A = this chain, B = another copy of it.
Amino acid sequence: MNIEMIRAAAERLKGHARETPLLSSPFIDHLAGRRVLIKAECLQHTGSFKYRGGYSAVSALPDDVRARGVIAFSSGNHAQGVALAATQHGVPSVIIMPADAPRLKIENTRALGAEVVLYDRATEDRDAIGAAMAEARGLTLIKPFDEPEVIAGQGTTGLEIAVQARALGVEQADVVVCCGGGGLTSGIALALEAEAPGLRARPAEPEGFDDTARSLASGTIQRNAAMTGSICDAIVTPSPGHLTFPIMQRLCGPGLVVSDAEALRAMAQAFLRLKIVLEPGGAVALAAALNRRDQIGGDAVIVVASGGNVDIEMYGAALATLAQ
């Protein structure tokens, strides 16, 4: 895993991934106590950065392998990213989802061209189902984060940040990244190391699911006690990956941890001041910039707003915080 892979991914993504804008607002700056630049990855195709990794992985496959199709386990953003990338390459994709996943996510993934296979969480083994399908059809598994070409794709976000931040005169800053398994965080960290060494990646996580923060603090991979119980479902993973953790350990500053309520309030500020739609898991980095100012140094901070796939009930709860 190295910067050349990220640069190669950027070449493959050219004309496909969107170069998302780096937004700002004087009102956000005021709340955060420093200049804040927000990388709006919610505006990426399929509504999250996951399209970058999905496209990178699918495009990196040898033609004959790719032609047989790809498979992914996901009920969320990774599913949509892989589905769209496969469709754009004209190859089949199979997405394994729990039968109780939100109907809209199932429909969206199908509409993007995937074959969605549902399984019963209580009685069926998704890995066995996936392995059998992959074997029978010769499908290639696209893992959500612990996969070099996925990390390379997510890292292209960091290449863009390096250029955009420099154009705005920001060369020394923390770059706060919403962190699940660490694919986005480690990819960005590698890109910044090469292209903007004054910028340092820092993972942001929800309370109770701060496996990466604890792993960085202890120096060994730590796991979360639970896999449910946060509204930030998009970034809840068991632990950082075996590929992503060593990169984060070498390059990232300490993890930042925010509450669900802080994530909701950050979503509301993004609505009010930036005019972008964020999901809870996509808002934790902004929440950290707004609420953990003592744990962040420097005159400016860069925030990756990583996704916007949120249902209207949750969004209503976020906007309701403005009326308080």
Q: Which positions in A face B, CB cutoff 8 Å?
A: 18-21, 23, 26-27, 30, 40, 42-43, 47, 84, 108, 111-112, 271, 273-278, 308, 312, 315-316, 319-320, 322-323
Contact = CB atoms under 8 A, between A and B. Distances in A.
A320 B312 CA distance: 8
A216 to B, nearest CB: 30
Given A18-B21, A322-B312, A43 B277 contact: no
* Residue from A18, A108, A273, A312 having most chain B Cβ neighbours under 10 A: A312
A315 B316 CA distance: 9
24 contacts: A18-B21, A18-B23, A19-B21, A20-B21, A23-B43, A26-B84, A26-B111, A26-B112, A27-B111, A40-B43, A42-B275, A43-B274, A43-B276, A47-B273, A271-B277, A271-B315, A275-B276, A275-B308, A276-B276, A276-B277, A312-B320, A315-B319, A316-B316, A316-B319
A299 to B, nearest CB: 19
A84 B21 CA distance: 20
Nearest to A167: B15
A55 B84 CA distance: 40
Nearest to A22: B18
Contacts of A19: 21
Contact of A43 (B21, B27, B108, B320): B21
Contacts of A20: 21
